[in-house]
Amino acid sequence: MDIDPNILVSIIVPTFNRSKYLEKTLKSVKNQSLQNWECIIVDDGSTDNTAAVVEKISGEDQRFQYYIRSKDFAKGACGARNYGFVKSRGKYIQWLDDDDLLSENKLELQVQKLEEADLKQFTTCDWDVYWEGKDFEPHNVIDDDEVLLPQDFFNSLVKRETYVPPHAYLIPRALAALAGPWNIHLSINQDAEYFTRIILVSNGLVNTKGCRVLYGVHDGERISSSFNSKNLASLIYGYKLIQAHLKLRDVQAKSFMKWKLRKLLLLFGKSDKELIRNNKYLFIENGVYPSRYTYYITRYKIFKIVMPWYKRYFK
């Protein structure tokens, strides 16, 4: 089908001191086959040459808009995203971090998919992490012709042992407005909490074939923060919120919660015993018992040894 040329997509890019990656990200936006877009870059207080990079590209193409995050919005990636959303005008919202990449046909194919879909559906596509010289290995949470409702979505995450980076999605603006803003009180795992709200107010997730996104992996930290023990409190708070959202909508996703909380216990059960202990009821409610940490870690180590051997000889 032909896409209505008046349909506008808003691409929102929060950034902080990542100019060495940002230029490549913005080029992946400029190369989109869909022409009617606006790219809103929100600077969270960079001290590098971010302004020069953005001003150069926006001088060549006025679809790029550069903003310094307003003081009325919280510092950090979530506050920058929320400010970008307020500044945006598009029918569809494309969240994009400052070191991630979109295939040239990503917006065109996903807009086409959503124009043919239910008004309250959103879409995803294949993705992979990337670094120099890495071949693309597709990951996805959904098969081509499926419509994933909330419970199916969380079950699929567990079954495939995967996640979905935010820029794989394209979201109708009305759906994003209904779900509410990004949670500024989370320093990590904000995307899991945010997209839990998105899928819970949607009529399901659909897949778009033929396009893909790349998720940047570097030695430095991403704007959203690094994954370390300092952020355990935020991770736990995020999962408490996710569980509350699920309960409010009467969605059963205990296998997802158990999977995520067990991973947390394996990572932090030794280094952050007190924080784990203070939140033990969240773990126990979802079938994960902090007192069994030694058992879990032993079983995990055995699994890591046995599984490669099993795959080699029996698959």
> What percent of the chain is modeled with pLDDT above 90?
80
- The whole-chain average pLDDT of the chain stands at 92
Which CATH number characterizes residue 52's domain? 3.90.550.10
Residues 178 and 286 occupy one common structural domain: no
Q: Helices (DSSP H) in the chain: which residue ranges?
A: 19-30, 50-60, 77-87, 106-116, 150-160, 173-179, 190-200, 232-248, 254-268, 273-278, 280-285, 293-314
Residues 280 and 172 occupy one common structural domain: no
Given 216, 236, 270, which residue is the final one in a domain?
A: 216
Q: How confident is the model at residue 58 (pLDDT cuts 50, 70, 90)?
A: very high
Give residue 286's domain range: 253-314
Residues 305 and 186 occupy one common structural domain: no
Residues 136 and 257 occupy one common structural domain: no
In degrees and rounded to multiples of 5, residue 90 shows phi and psi of -75, 155
Query: Is 303's pLDDT higher than 80?
Result: no
Residues 198 and 265 occupy one common structural domain: no
Given 216, 235, 268, which residue is the final one in a domain?
A: 216
What tens digit of pLDDT does each residue of 243-284 get?
Answer: 999 999 999 999 999 999 999 999 888 889 999 999 999 999
Residues 200 and 290 occupy one common structural domain: no
Residue 229 lies in a domain: no
What tens digit of pLDDT does each residue of 150-209 get?
Answer: 999 999 999 999 999 999 999 999 999 999 999 999 999 999 999 999 999 999 999 999
What is the reported pLDDT for 294? 87
What is the reported pLDDT for 293? 84
Residues 109 and 183 occupy one common structural domain: yes
Q: Kindly state the average pLDDT of the residues 46-74.
A: 97
What is the reported pLDDT for 225? 45
Question: Total domain count for the chain?
Answer: 2
Q: Helices (DSSP H) in 95-252: which residue ranges?
A: 106-116, 150-160, 173-179, 190-200, 232-248
By the 8 A CB rule, do 42 and 117 touch?
no
Residues 204 and 271 occupy one common structural domain: no
Residue 46 lies in a domain: yes
Residues 74 and 196 occupy one common structural domain: yes
By the 8 A CB rule, do 199 and 84 touch?
no
Residues 164 and 259 occupy one common structural domain: no
What is the reported pLDDT for 2? 82
